[in-house]
């Protein structure tokens, strides 16, 4: 039991005051006599003072004591436990993948199950009528149940809590929980490790950790490459031992019941090891699993890979056959896979002379190679530059370029509207044309006067251009991603064979399909799939036409490390309270006035009824 207004208990001082008054309150019994005049001087006797007498237990005393006691308790507002109090419990569930870890042993529960058992016990201690709000951590907070619903309604929603996210920030969910509690509710965070003291945890939030240190081996990275010339693929894996003991790991790649490869490797504690395996072409899809005794987290032991598709790029070269530029382009193209030479009308990339400029077409990419002005006079006036070169490193066209030792010959003044990519002083050497829908690049260079074709930078530059154009082809760019990775692709262009007069492009839904559930996507030239937080295989449909399928896998070494998990508990921080009573509390003055009235009433009763003298 506690008192909402402890000031009211000061009224209990009236009880001893009433008792003292009755101890010294002398009352003479009435005496009937005949002939009062015969008593003479004895008619009135004055006593020397009050003397303490035996306490008279009278109805008046009992009523006065009860009245003072009741009035004091009413002013103090007694409360018995949580009787009549309804609690709003806001629960934040850690949705990190480590919460799905399970200690070795058949009878051991996962951290998720242990957290739910503790939550069930906590809810049973709440007063009748209390309500629950369940929040699940994510990049954007997710409300699992609520707000403020009965436990019977919230409990079934816990079946949807399957923690599987990579490392993420809890703060957005904590902020939402604090707003929902609104200063009157209770906050509870269920996790597998108590946050560090440096983390800004809400002061009124209780933290309960159910984690413990576990061993774990994970597939921390994976890639599947396909060689169209040999019709074979190569799977590259990286396995990481996050534990403190040596692990013997069995790795297997399967398609249904068919085993494609199987390896056993030994990993020292805290070591990552690569694994490369050759696989035949035409598999389509491959499931890779690892097995290790005592492994704590099953989620990072299995991945799904989709076989990459061949994306042939059609390239046309319209350079003069006997020019140094044509020979340099042909040599570089021989080393780039999945490139098909075609005519300019059907090409997706055209490599041509710098003049004339290309037509403005959105679906066209163009590389113009100098000299800008092919006249003999202009070529003689051109400059040969040896650097230093300024490279726009953020441009993916320059990935891997150094231009070390390159002589950039035949540079001519450029009067076109361009965005420089490589410059020497104020002179653009490689730039992109502005004011056209064509993705057009201009190489201000004369291969007859430059050694760029003999340097390693030339095939790298042309390969980067090829891959950039290939990425902009319709359809999926890649087929294997990690959780929360950006996924972008260009929509397939409609042709008479793929569209009908009765169905327009805008009327067809663009859908992301996963486990039978369909999710609409915004139709645009470049489609962006929202970050996905569930590892699995997804399919994209344009109406009824499949665009392709891709796999999303869990790769997060930080979340797969379970050696730092610990059980623990942190109580909510209480507000600092000042010592003593606060005179500005609500109802303080009313309580003080009530106490004074009680004391005045008692002393007035004593003053009015006090004996003046003794009559005979």
Q: Give the pLDDT confidence of 166-200 residue by residue, as tens digits.
A: 999 999 999 999 999 886 789 999 999 999 888 88
| 183, part of any domain | yes
| Average pLDDT, rounded, for the chain | 85
pLDDT digits (tens, 9 = 90+) for 498-550: 444 445 555 789 999 999 899 999 988 889 998 888 999 999 999 889 999 99
pLDDT for residue 4: 64
Q: Determine the Cα–Cα distance for residues 204 and 258; give it in Å rounded to an integer.
A: 55
Looking at the fold, whether 319 and 460 belong to one and the same domain comes out as: yes
| C-alpha distance from residue 243 to each of 91, 116, 289, 293 (Å) | 31, 26, 18, 12
| C-alpha distance from residue 334 to each of 327, 329, 340 (Å) | 11, 9, 10
Looking at the fold, whether 336 and 446 belong to one and the same domain comes out as: yes
Looking at the fold, whether 326 and 404 belong to one and the same domain comes out as: yes
pLDDT for residue 177: 94
Nearest Cα residue to 572 out of 201, 182, 205: 205
287 vs 502 pLDDT, higher one = 287
Find the helix or strand (DSSP H, E) in which 188 lies.
strand 186-191
pLDDT for residue 508: 84
Contact predicate 354/411, CB 8 Å: no
Looking at the fold, whether 331 and 297 belong to one and the same domain comes out as: no
Number of alpha carbons in the 13 Å side-chain half-sphere of residue 478:
16
Residue 125: give its domain's CATH number: 3.40.50.410
Looking at the fold, whether 24 and 38 belong to one and the same domain comes out as: yes
Contact predicate 139/168, CB 8 Å: yes
Average pLDDT over residues 138-154: 92
DSSP string, 146-170: EEEE-HHHHGGGGGG----B-S---
* Owning domain of residue 261: 222-308
Average pLDDT over residues 588-605: 66
Q: Look at residue 466 and give its three-state secondary structure.
A: helix
pLDDT for residue 497: 45
Range scoring the smallest mean pLDDT among 79-83, 148-152, 430-434: 79-83
**Tokens standing for 418?**
């361009």
Looking at the fold, whether 286 and 320 belong to one and the same domain comes out as: no
Q: Determine the Cα–Cα distance for residues 560 and 302; give it in Å rounded to an integer.
A: 13
Domains: count for the chain = 4
pLDDT digits (tens, 9 = 90+) for 366-417: 999 989 998 889 989 999 998 899 999 889 999 999 999 999 999 999 889 9
Q: Could you tell me the pLDDT band of residue 281, with boundaries at 50, 70 and 90?
A: very high
Average pLDDT over residues 150-179: 94
**Tokens standing for 312?**
């042939």
Q: Could you tell me the pLDDT band of residue 594, with boundaries at 50, 70 and 90?
A: low
27 vs 109 pLDDT, higher one = 109
Q: Determine the Cα–Cα distance for residues 239 and 256; give it in Å rounded to an integer.
A: 23
Looking at the fold, whether 317 and 466 belong to one and the same domain comes out as: yes
Whole-number percent of the chain with pLDDT over 70? 84
- Checking if the pLDDT of 578 tops 50, the result is no
Average pLDDT over residues 303-326: 92
Looking at the fold, whether 441 and 346 belong to one and the same domain comes out as: yes
Contact predicate 150/54, CB 8 Å: no
Nearest Cα residue to 318 out of 374, 368, 371, 379: 368
Range scoring the smallest mean pLDDT among 207-221, 265-279, 474-488: 474-488
Q: Determine the Cα–Cα distance for residues 372 and 411; give it in Å rounded to an integer.
A: 8
pLDDT for residue 17: 81
pLDDT for residue 592: 64
Contact predicate 512/460, CB 8 Å: no
Q: Determine the Cα–Cα distance for residues 614 and 43; give it in Å rounded to an integer.
A: 8
Of 471, 499, 520, the residue at which a domain comes to its end is 471
Of 446, 471, 496, the residue at which a domain comes to its end is 471
Nearest Cα residue to 419 out of 407, 406, 434, 405: 434
Question: Among all chains, which residue has been given the structure tokens 């629950």?
Answer: 132
| 492, part of any domain | no
DSSP string, 362-391: TT-EEEEES-SS-SHHHHHH-EEE----EE
- Checking if the pLDDT of 64 tops 90, the result is no
Residue 342: give its domain's CATH number: 3.40.50.880
Nearest Cα residue to 370 out of 406, 400, 408, 343: 408
């Amino acid at each position: 039991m506690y008192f909402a207004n402890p000031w009211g208990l000061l009224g209990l001082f009236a009880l001893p005051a009433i008792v003292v008054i009755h101890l010294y309150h002398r009352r003479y019994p009435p005496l009937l006599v005949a002939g009062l005049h015969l008593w003479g001087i004895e008619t009135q006797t004055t006593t020397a003072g009050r003397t303490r007498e035996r306490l008279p237990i009278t109805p008046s005393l009992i009523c006065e004591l009860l009245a003072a006691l009741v009035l004091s308790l009413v002013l103090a507002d007694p409360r018995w436990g949580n009787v009549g109090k309804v609690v709003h419990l806001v629960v934040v569930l850690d949705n990190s993948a480590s919460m799905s870890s399970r200690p070795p042993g058949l009878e051991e529960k996962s951290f998720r199950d242990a957290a739910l058992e503790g939550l069930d016990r906590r809810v049973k201690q709440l007063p009748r009528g209390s309500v629950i709000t369940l929040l699940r951590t994510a990049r954007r907070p997710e409300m699992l149940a609520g707000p403020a619903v009965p436990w019977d309604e919230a409990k079934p929603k816990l079946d949807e809590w399957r923690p599987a996210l990579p490392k993420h920030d809890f703060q957005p969910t904590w902020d939402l929980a604090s707003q929902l509690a609104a200063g009157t509710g209770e906050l509870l965070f269920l996790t597998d490790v108590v946050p560090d003291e440096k983390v800004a945890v809400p002061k009124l939030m209780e933290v309960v950790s159910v984690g413990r240190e576990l061993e774990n081996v994970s597939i921390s990275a994976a890639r599947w490459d396909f060689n169209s010339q040999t019709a074979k693929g190569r799977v590259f894996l990286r396995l990481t031992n996050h534990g403190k003991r040596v692990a013997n790991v069995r790795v297997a790649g399967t398609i249904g019941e068919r085993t494609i490869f199987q390896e056993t490797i030994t990993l020292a504690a805290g070591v990552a090891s690569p694994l490369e395996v050759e696989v035949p072409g035409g598999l389509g899809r491959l499931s890779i699993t690892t097995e290790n005794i005592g492994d704590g987290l099953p989620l990072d032991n299995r991945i799904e890979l989709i076989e990459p598709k061949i994306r042939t790029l059609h390239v046309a070269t319209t350079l003069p056959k006997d020019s140094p530029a044509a020979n340099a382009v042909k040599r570089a193209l021989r080393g780039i896979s999945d490139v098909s030479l075609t005519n300019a009308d059907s090409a997706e990339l055209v490599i041509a002379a710098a003049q004339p400029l290309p037509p403005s077409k959105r679906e066209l990419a163009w590389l113009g190679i100098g000299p800008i002005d092919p006249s003999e006079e202009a070529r003689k006036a051109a400059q040969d530059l040896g650097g230093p070169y300024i490279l726009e490193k953020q441009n993916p066209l320059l990935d891997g370029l150094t231009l070390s030792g390159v002589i950039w010959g035949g540079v001519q003044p450029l009067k076109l509207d361009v965005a420089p990519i490589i410059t020497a002083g104020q002179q653009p050497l490689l730039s992109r044309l502005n004011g056209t829908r064509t993705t057009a690049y201009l190489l201000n260079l004369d291969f007859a006067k430059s050694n760029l074709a003999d340097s390693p930078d030339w095939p790298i530059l042309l390969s980067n251009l090829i891959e950039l154009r290939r990425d902009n082809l319709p359809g999926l760019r890649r087929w294997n991603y990690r959780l929360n990775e950006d996924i972008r692709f260009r929509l397939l262009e409609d042709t008479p064979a793929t569209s009908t007069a009765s169905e327009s492009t805008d009327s067809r839904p663009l859908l992301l399909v996963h486990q039978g559930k369909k999710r609409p996507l915004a139709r645009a030239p470049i489609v962006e799939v929202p970050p996905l937080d569930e590892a699995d295989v997804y399919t994209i449909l344009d109406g009824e036409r499949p665009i392709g399928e891709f796999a999303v896998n869990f790769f997060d070494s930080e979340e797969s490390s379970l050696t730092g998990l610990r059980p623990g508990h942190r109580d909510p921080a209480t507000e600092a309270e000042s010592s003593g009573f606060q005179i500005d509390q609500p109802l303080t003055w009313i309580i003080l006035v009530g106490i004074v009235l009680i004391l005045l009433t008692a002393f007035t009763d004593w003053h009015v009824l006090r004996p003046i003298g003794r009559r005979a």
